[in-house]
Structure 1
Amino acid sequence: MSKKIMFQGTGSSVGKSIIVAAVCRILNNQGVVVAPFKSQNMSLNSFITEDGKEMGRAQVVQAEAARVNPMVEMNPILLKPTSDIGSQVILNGEVFKNMEAMKYFSAKDYLIPHIKVAFEKLESLFETIVIEGAGSPAEINLRSRDIVNMGLAEIVDTDVILIGDVDKGGVFASLYGTFLLLSKEEQKRVKGFLINKFRGDVSLLMSGVEMLEELIDRPCLGVIPFIQDLKVDDEDSVTDRFTAKSNNAIKVGVVKLPYMSNFTDFTVFDLEKDVNLEYITEPLALETCDLIVIPGSKNTIHDMRYVSESGMNQAIYRAHRKGTPIIGICGGYQILGQTIEDTFGVESKEIKINGLGLLDVHTTMSEEKTTRQASGNVLSNFFNIELEGMKLSGYEIHMGITSHLSDSVRPFMSTDKNEHDGGISADGSVLGTYFHGIFDNDNFRHTVLNNIRTKKGFKTSDESVDFEELKDSEYNRLAKHVEAHINMPLLLKILNESRG
């Protein structure tokens, strides 16, 4: 059986995902064949595997750090919120059903066998599995239905390391309180703790570390300093990207929809030194954008209503009249059209809504979800940018089928499925596509940005950043940072003595 270790946190956003990614890369650098695992993830950031299965983006990051291909078994349950109390449940990479929270919790007995099968598949393929919990294991009101923290630790019989976030304040109380709220049997699984996101002089913290070690009779495996400007995808519930701004010369504005999905489509802009990526919440902020992007959505009708009621629609129309290029991705493509219809109530209780009308297309929500990796050749130029014939790759995740209503909209791409994808308006200034990850194509991003640079009178860039190479170097930077501050001999000792 595989060796295994689980990282649980005192709460959300303490850095579990990043620590797991770092440990995966550290172990891989040591020659270990390692894989990540998280039984249940709640996120609107997802990815499509080579075999067309949908999984949480955090486990994709961890798989990349481990230098292995993402597999849906690494995240067998993905919850994609569709309302304040309900989510679309993705089970083993496919849509299971939409469920409200109470109904989902009652499905524990049905879900556990699927978790076991997924984990056993990983055990058959990998030497070591690094497991991530969710939220806090001390949510005593949810313990009887837990399948992602101590409940999961029991299912797969693993030891646990607790992570506390010193940046939030109260790290000793959160670690101590979490430990005390665990049952005696659960406490036995805890082999140590980590303190994450430290800033300042670590010597000032050490007396507290020593007292906590004595109080809970568990060792501290390290104090990890805060790492600056890490260019790695993060989770939608904890990111600080939405408030980040800069004074860079080119402003790419992403309309921040309430149910925005896959904002990882835009992480790549962090690599462009002269680009300011801003998530727009005020209509007036669209006036200074050089490129406007309407992102994906998990509830397109709800988000279209937001666009109308917030005044974003009028700001987008003004930008369009001014000549600002506009790109819609997936749900954003649907929002650019004339109408969106959800007869089956797939995403919304509202049956039909008018879109922005910038593309002459109509979308009907279907009961079948399209999930696939795909590639295509560009058929039409966008914004007078020479793109025709360019090869692009990405992945599709959508419930809708979008039809062109007239010849005024031209297909954007011819795909490897012998289909057309997306559309471009007659004047060439509005583009819609179902391809997530389109900006990850270095040639596409480089060409579009250079066109904007030229129009603004700036020097064009001769070199396009290789996104895949930079991501790999960031995983190495993360691993080096964590390895320098974690007691790896002790962690390896815990792994070698693990219950596997």
Structure 2
Amino acid sequence: MTPALMFQGTGSDVGKSLLVAGFCRAFARKGLRVAPFKPQNMSNNAAVTADGGEIGRAQALQARACGLPPSVHMNPVLLKPQSEIGAQVIVQGTMAGEARARDYQDLKPKLAGAVAHSFNLLREKADLILVEGAGSPAEVNLRKGDIANMGFARAHNVPVVLIGDIDRGGVIAQIVGTKNVLDPEDAAMVRGFLVNKFRGDPRLFDAGLTFMAERTGWASLGLIPFFPRAAQLPAEDAFALGGSRQGAGKRIVVPLLPHIANFDDFDPLKTEPGVELVMVAPGQPLPLCDLVILPGSKTTIADLAFFRAQGWDIDLFAHARRGGKIFGICGGYQMLGETIADPLGLEGPPGVASGLGLLAVETELAGTKTLAACSGVSAGGAAFSGYEMHVGVTKGADCARPMLRFPGGRVDGAQNGSGAVRGAYVHGLFGSDPFRAEFLQWIGAESAGRDYEAEIDRILDELADHLAAQVDLDALLALAR
């Protein structure tokens, strides 16, 4: 049986996803065939897989760290929130329906078969599976029917390493408290703990590590210093988007919609020194800028209503009157049009909403969801690669001026007559260096000319080195079974 090791956290955003990516790269460099696995994920930041489905973006990054194409079996259950209490349920890459939070608790046991099937398929082709938990096993109110944390670990006899985050404070209580609330049989699955994001002199925390080991009976497996370059890797959770990247040069503004999707679209822009990227939180006006980008959205009509409720439509129209540039990605592209129709209620109640009217296009949300990697050239001739992930067809007069062209003659996107307002469905465009350079030139900025994709791989290598310097990889491997 292929050995596996599961990394669970004392809470969300303790660094599980990035640590798993780093360990994937570290063990892959040792010559092992490593595969990542996350039984259940909740995120609107999704990736298109080589086998034609969608998974959490974090698992796509982990697959890359392993040197593998992403597969639907690396994240067999993906929940894509559509409201405060409900989400789309994606099973092995395909939408299986919708569920309210209360109903999902009853649905979990029915998904265990798909989780087991995907896990066993990965085990057939790998030397080591690194499993990422979700949230925290200390959420004992969700333990019944669990497929994400201890329920999975127990069902598949996978040892667990618990990760705590010292940067947010209270890590001793995080680790010891988790042991205290776990069922004894669940607690017995934990082999040790890691403390992540440490800053300062590590010798000052020796007594803390000893205390936690004595109180829990779990081994202290490492104290991992803060890794600043992690901020340049794709984030999984939208709340990591807070704040702005200050730079000298052209200002790009992105309003943070409640159901923002595929927000790693903006990561390559953060690396450009000639750009100031400002993420605008609800309650704040859109500031003066050179470009406003409307991001992707999981619930386009609802997020458009929210956009208007914030008064951002007024700010956007004023920006347009000043001659400012506007770009919409996927759901943001749909918002820029004249109408959005959802006759089947795919993203909310059935109906038709008026768009912002800045592009002469109309959208109907209907038909099969488009999920595909793609490549081509922009209208200006710059090469790009990316992916499509959307429901809906957009048509209208401004589509006669497409933004993107694919091999075979298919086109995507639209521009208004002046070219100041543009939109397209393709995600991931800014990761293509030629397209990013041309796009920045459109707003009067100059690209630094970095190879973005090569830089991601360099950071993964640095992360693997960082972990190998602090954690005994052979000891971790010995814990796997």
Q: TM-score range by the shorter chain?
A: over 0.9
User: What's 2:384 paired with?
Assistant: 392
How much does 1:215 deviate? Answer: 1.9
Q: Distance in 1 between matches of 2:156 and 2:346?
A: 34
How much does 1:431 deviate? Answer: 0.9
Q: Distance in 1 between matches of 2:213 and 2:176?
A: 10
- Aligned pair partner of 1:484 in 453, 469, 481: 469
Q: Distance in 2 between matches of 1:145 and 1:276?
A: 46
**Pairs aligned (count):** 480
Give the direction of change, closer, same or farther, for the CA distance of 1:216–1:284 in structure 2 (3 Å limit): closer
- Aligned pair partner of 2:440 in 427, 449, 457: 449
Whether 1:464 and 2:456 are equivalent positions in the alignment is: no
User: What's 1:340 paired with?
Assistant: 340
Q: Distance in 2 between matches of 1:449 and 1:411?
A: 18
Instruction: Out of 177-186 and 463-472, give the one that drifted further.
Output: 177-186
Q: Distance in 1 between matches of 2:238 and 2:325?
A: 29
Letter aligned with residue 76 of structure 1 = P
Q: Distance in 1 between matches of 2:201 and 2:475?
A: 23
Q: Distance in 1 between matches of 2:239 and 2:219?
A: 28
Q: Distance in 2 between matches of 1:197 and 1:6?
A: 19
Give the direction of change, closer, same or farther, for the CA distance of 1:208–1:407 in structure 2 (3 Å limit): closer
User: What's 2:219 paired with?
Assistant: 219
Matches within 5 A, 1:362-377: 362-377=362-377
Secondary structure of the residue aligned to 1:145 is coil
Give the direction of change, closer, same or farther, for the CA distance of 1:376–1:294 in structure 2 (3 Å limit): same
Q: Distance in 2 between matches of 1:279 and 1:257?
A: 10
Query: 1:414-434, CA deviations, whole angstroms, 9 ceiling, x for partnerless residues?
Result: 324643211111111111100
Q: Distance in 2 between matches of 1:80 and 1:282?
A: 21
Letter aligned with residue 448 of structure 1 = F
Letter aligned with residue 233 of structure 1 = P
Matches within 5 A, 1:31-46: 31-46=31-46
User: Does the CA contact (< 8 Å) of 1:73 and 1:118 recur in 2?
Assistant: yes
How much does 1:377 deviate? Answer: 3.1
Q: Distance in 2 between matches of 1:401 and 1:260?
A: 20
Matches within 5 A, 1:178-197: 178-197=178-197
Letter aligned with residue 164 of structure 2 = G
Q: Distance in 1 between matches of 2:70 and 2:55?
A: 9
Instruction: Out of 186-195 and 417-426, give the one that drifted further.
Output: 417-426
Matches within 5 A, 1:229-268: 229-230=229-230, 231-239=232-240, 241-268=241-268
Q: Distance in 2 between matches of 1:129 and 1:408?
A: 46
Whether 1:175 and 2:175 are equivalent positions in the alignment is: yes
Instruction: Out of 253-262 and 368-377, give the one that drifted further.
Output: 368-377
Query: 1:108-165, CA deviations, whole angstroms, 9 ceiling, x for partnerless residues?
Result: 2321110011001100111100000011112111111210000010222100001111
Letter aligned with residue 220 of structure 1 = S
Q: Distance in 2 between matches of 1:286 and 1:140?
A: 41
Secondary structure of the residue aligned to 1:484 is helix
User: What's 1:72 paired with?
Assistant: 72
Q: Distance in 1 between matches of 2:466 and 2:324?
A: 41
Give the direction of change, closer, same or farther, for the CA distance of 1:215–1:407 in structure 2 (3 Å limit): closer
User: What's 1:438 paired with?
Assistant: 429
How much does 1:488 deviate? Answer: 2.2
- Sequence identity, in percent? 41
Give the direction of change, closer, same or farther, for the CA distance of 1:214–1:346 in structure 2 (3 Å limit): same
User: Does the CA contact (< 8 Å) of 1:346 and 1:367 recur in 2?
Assistant: no
Instruction: Out of 211-220 and 155-164, give the one that drifted further.
Output: 211-220
How much does 1:367 deviate? Answer: 4.7
User: What's 1:383 paired with?
Assistant: none
User: Does the CA contact (< 8 Å) of 1:15 and 1:196 recur in 2?
Assistant: yes
Instruction: Out of 32-41 and 443-452, give the one that drifted further.
Output: 443-452
Matches within 5 A, 1:401-416: 401-404=393-396, 406=397, 409-416=400-407
How much does 1:93 deviate? Answer: 0.5
Query: 1:357-406, CA deviations, whole angstroms, 9 ceiling, x for partnerless residues?
Result: 11111111115211111223334xxxxxxx1x3332211111111111x3
How much does 1:409 deviate? Answer: 4.9
Q: RMSD over aligned Cα, in angstroms?
A: 1.7
Letter aligned with residue 163 of structure 1 = I
Letter aligned with residue 178 of structure 1 = T
Matches within 5 A, 1:114-129: 114-129=114-129
User: Does the CA contact (< 8 Å) of 1:294 and 1:333 recur in 2?
Assistant: yes
User: Does the CA contact (< 8 Å) of 1:242 and 1:278 recur in 2?
Assistant: no
Give the direction of change, closer, same or farther, for the CA distance of 1:27–1:408 in structure 2 (3 Å limit): closer
Q: Distance in 2 between matches of 1:208 and 1:78?
A: 36
Give the direction of change, closer, same or farther, for the CA distance of 1:409–1:311 in structure 2 (3 Å limit): farther
User: Does the CA contact (< 8 Å) of 2:398 and 2:415 recur in 1?
Assistant: no
Q: Distance in 2 between matches of 1:491 and 1:283?
A: 46
User: What's 1:457 paired with?
Assistant: none
Secondary structure of the residue aligned to 2:466 is helix
Give the direction of change, closer, same or farther, for the CA distance of 1:167–1:243 in structure 2 (3 Å limit): same
Instruction: Out of 417-426 and 137-146, give the one that drifted further.
Output: 417-426
Q: Distance in 2 between matches of 1:333 and 1:450?
A: 21
How much does 1:307 deviate? Answer: 1.8
Secondary structure of the residue aligned to 2:61 is helix
Q: Distance in 2 between matches of 1:158 and 1:284?
A: 46
Runs of 5+ consecutive residues of structure 1 not aligned to the other structure: 380-386, 455-459
Letter aligned with residue 51 of structure 1 = D
Q: Distance in 2 between matches of 1:282 and 1:192?
A: 40
How much does 1:451 deviate? Answer: 4.2
User: What's 1:24 paired with?
Assistant: 24
